A and B are shown apart, each in its own frame.
Chain A
Amino acid sequence: MVSPVRSICIVGGGTAGWLTAGIIAARHRAESGRGLQITLVESETIGIVGVGEGTWPTMRTTLKKMGISETDFFRQCNASFKQGAKFARWATGEESDFYYHPLMLPEGFPSLDLAPFWTKYSDEHADAPSFSDAVCFQEAVCELGLAPKLITSPEYAGVVNYAYHLDAGKFAAFVRDHCIKNLGIRHIVDEVTQVVKNDTGDIAYVETSKSGRLGGDLFIDASGFRSLLLGEAMGVPFVDCSHVLFIDRALAMQVPYGDEQSNITPHTVSTAQKHGWIWDIGLQSRRGVGYVFSSNHTTVDAALAELRAYVGGAHRDLQPREIKITSGHRQTFWKGNCVAVGLAGGFLEPLEASALVLIELSADMISAMMPATRETMDIVARRFNQTTQYRWDRIIDFLKLHYILSQRTDSKFWIDNRDPASIPESLKEQMELWRYRAPGDQDFTSNNEMFPAASYQYVLFGMGFRMDVRHQPLDRDLGSAQRAFTQNDTLKGKWTKALPKNRDLINKIKDLGLQKI
């Protein structure tokens, strides 16, 4: 006897719940004969944490697949363009210290690797441009506050690669409305009072205050930090990563613009502080600013003073929201007939905006691997766990990379971050190899990589890492490298002239809309 998987019950209606519902519905509604019934139950009283205000470029495909118009998204989610991150004061801590992790690959990458050529040149020239500026023109676009596309660019198409900044609360409501109206998701607003398992250990149903029992062949836990289904009911323990990543507290503020029509910064700014770092994300109507820090290294009051110094005296009346966080994830992500997405699966500091992209990737994987029967679900679960664990490990490595090369000595926070005991072995191994050659695709061979080798290059060389290139044969590709550097300069000249200011384009999109083609 086989038990087909026909219905899915999602518990939790933040961005994790609604994105997952939308991604699964967009795929499975279209398939004839395999209509999955999707129910999402969310509480009226439990608010959303709304941590994710920065996305990856993957969000463009995600929204498009769900049948959402990019124009509507801009009109309703307070959204803006993001073209990567600017990391300020991470390396030396000085005022002038910054580097970019843009969303575009270095010119010619990966068939041509400019890193050794740039290293050699900057070894010999004190006035050499920074790595990110020399190999990618997106830094110049960001520094000028320009948008990544034109009003004539179709929806979701860019002149340069881009992602979004968004208002997580508005975004969850926007995706919810689309899911209910266009994707046939059954929406129940109610409190889940109990999670009831059957004798095989699977979840049989969730009990609610007013709507009775909600069953399902597959349960998706999108309940946030609480991890109501996977953590509480299925008893999957939490794996703490705070010995690697020390951040455990956030103070968040919404900072209004001085002038309503101030330009919107087209990238995330992440500024290192004494005991952590401050994110600064420009939306249409306000900036989202927050200090994430280690409460083992400083007090909340001292951190608040640093945050206030950052936002300036004009905003001294703003009250921050304090959020306690624990870096880490569940030991497994799919157990029995229950899989977790979003914060229910784990949390890491938002240094590389990994929260929303992990939801998209998890939902895509659940959707693509959707088991036809309960009997085949365990195989799917095993693969899902393997891949998801790999992804978390790579994100942890990559986040840690930002800390281990800092030369800051202004607090124990930075010194402790360089303690070899706090660095994962997998990252240590890579660092050994990268002393003599740049990160390349050969270092990242899984189909499920999170960050391309180029991202490691941007952070390594941005942080001032010096590679020994004396033994590298560079002559063969010297001509190609010179052409690539010139090409980057040409593109920089062309697009810094042609692209509009970020605010101006967003205003135009809201006013006139983008074409679908």
Chain B
Amino acid sequence: MRLVELSRSEHAGLRIRADRVEASAASQHLVPIVVSEFRKAATQYPIVFAKNPETGRFAPYVLNGLGVEENLFWSGTELDVAYVPLNVRRQPFYVGMNDAPNGPATNVLCIDLDSACLDGSGTKTIVNPDGSDSAYLKEILSILGELVAGKKTTEQFIASVLSLDLLAPIMLDIVLDDGTPLQVQGLYGLDEEKFRQLDAGQVASLWKTGYLDLIYAVLIASGQIFKLIRMKNQRIAASRAWHSNAS
């Protein structure tokens, strides 16, 4: 990865292949999301919580697979799913921090010059011929804007559920159709039993902050794990069929 600050003049000639964006998530079993995505994500994925390995802080993620580096939604050419998280769609752009020696740190728009999305055959450009921001770049800026705004609200939501002791490790003990036992570790979910024990005052405060909606989104999304197991078993069956045909 080679992140540089995006320059409208210097990078005006870059061509971007939007059809390669989703490939960046082909081997990601977890993609971080922000709270504004919970409702949409819940219709497609389990929403789980995991710790950042550098800071130990919790963040929400969509779960794409049952093993490390497994994305069951990746078809080989695209993500076969009705909602693709912002953190995939914003590729190959990033938000960096400009830590100026004096004054507050500000966000700067960066691009990964090593990204496979940068290719002469791409159809997207960052600026129009007249030098103004392209519709494509405007779309990217709006996605990154939602991510930046969502960072703080997501952290506040996490702090709130942690203070109520609502997070608990998820113990997934799955046996696949081919008999392989699967154990998924390091994932956390909402503890429904503890959630039910909250008193009226606590629930009222969750409702006022809008966190109650988010909690229900996560609880409902937890059932999506069965979809992942089904997809995984279908893959096993497909690969078995392929092997028996081949032999």
Interface of A toward B, CB cutoff 8 Å? 150-153, 508, 512-517
Contact = CB atoms under 8 A, between A and B. Distances in A.
B188 A517 contact: yes
27 contacts: A150-B53, A150-B56, A151-B53, A151-B55, A151-B56, A152-B51, A152-B52, A152-B53, A152-B56, A152-B186, A153-B56, A508-B55, A508-B56, A512-B55, A512-B56, A512-B57, A513-B56, A515-B51, A515-B56, A515-B57, A515-B162, A516-B162, A516-B165, A517-B167, A517-B168, A517-B169, A517-B188
Contacts of B53: 150-152
B162 to A, nearest CB: 8
Contact of A151 (B54, B58, B188): B54
A476 B189 CA distance: 46
B33 to A, nearest CB: 19
Contacts of A150: 53, 56
A512 B57 CA distance: 8
A152 B168 CA distance: 14
Nearest to B55: A512
Sort chain B's interface into a size bin.
10 to 19
Contacts of A153: 56
Interface in B32-81: 51-58
At the interface, is chain A mostly helix, strand, loop or mixed? loop
A515 B58 CA distance: 9
Interface of B: 51-58, 162, 165, 167-169, 186, 188
Contacts of A515: 51, 56-58, 162
Nearest to A505: B56
Contacts of B52: 152
A385 to B, nearest CB: 41
A50 B168 CA distance: 38
Enumerate the 10 nearest inter-chain pairs by beta-carbon distance, A residue then B residue, closest first.
A151-B56, A152-B51, A152-B56, A512-B55, A517-B167, A515-B56, A152-B53, A512-B56, A514-B56, A151-B55
Nearest to B58: A515
A514 B56 CA distance: 7
Contacts of B55: 151, 508, 512
Contacts of A151: 51, 53-56
A516 B58 CA distance: 11
Nearest to A513: B56
A513 B55 CA distance: 9
Nearest to B50: A152
Contacts of A512: 55-57
A512 B54 CA distance: 10
A515 B158 CA distance: 12
Contacts of A514: 56
A295 to B, nearest CB: 49
A516 B163 CA distance: 10
A152 B186 CA distance: 9
Contacts of A513: 56
Given A150-B56, A152-B51, 7 more contacts: A150-B53, A151-B53, A152-B52, A153-B56, A508-B56, A514-B56, A517-B188
B127 to A, nearest CB: 40
A512 B58 CA distance: 12
Contacts of A516: 162, 165
Contacts of A152: 51-53, 56, 186
A513 B58 CA distance: 12
A516 B169 CA distance: 11
Contacts of B186: 152
A515 B168 CA distance: 11
B115 to A, nearest CB: 28
A515 B165 CA distance: 11
Contacts of B56: 150-153, 508, 512-515
Nearest to B167: A517
Nearest to A515: B56
A153 B52 CA distance: 11
A171 B165 CA distance: 27
**Residue of A150, A513, A517 with highest tally of chain B CB at under 10 A:** A517
**Residue of B51, B56, B57 with highest tally of chain A CB at under 10 A:** B56
Nearest to B191: A517
B57 to A, nearest CB: 7
A517 B55 CA distance: 14
**Residue of A150, A152, A508, A516 with highest tally of chain B CB at under 10 A:** A152
A514 B169 CA distance: 15
Nearest to B52: A152
B165 to A, nearest CB: 8
A150 to B, nearest CB: 8
A152 B53 CA distance: 6
Contacts of B51: 151-152, 515
B71 to A, nearest CB: 22
A508 B168 CA distance: 23
B91 to A, nearest CB: 26
A508 B53 CA distance: 12
Contacts of B57: 512, 515
Contacts of B162: 515-516
Nearest to A514: B56
A467 to B, nearest CB: 40
B116 to A, nearest CB: 29
A514 B165 CA distance: 14
A150 B52 CA distance: 11
Nearest to A151: B56
A56 B173 CA distance: 34
A151 B53 CA distance: 7
Nearest to B186: A152
Contacts of B165: 516
Contacts of B169: 517
A350 to B, nearest CB: 33
Nearest to B54: A151
A272 to B, nearest CB: 39
Nearest to A517: B167
B184 to A, nearest CB: 15
A497 to B, nearest CB: 14
**Residue of B51, B52, B162, B165 with highest tally of chain A CB at under 10 A:** B51
A512 B188 CA distance: 19
A517 B167 CA distance: 8
A514 B52 CA distance: 12
B187 to A, nearest CB: 12
Nearest to B56: A151
Nearest to A153: B56
Nearest to A509: B56
A83 to B, nearest CB: 20
A449 to B, nearest CB: 32
B21 to A, nearest CB: 29
A512 B51 CA distance: 12
B70 to A, nearest CB: 21
Nearest to B53: A152
Contacts of B168: 517
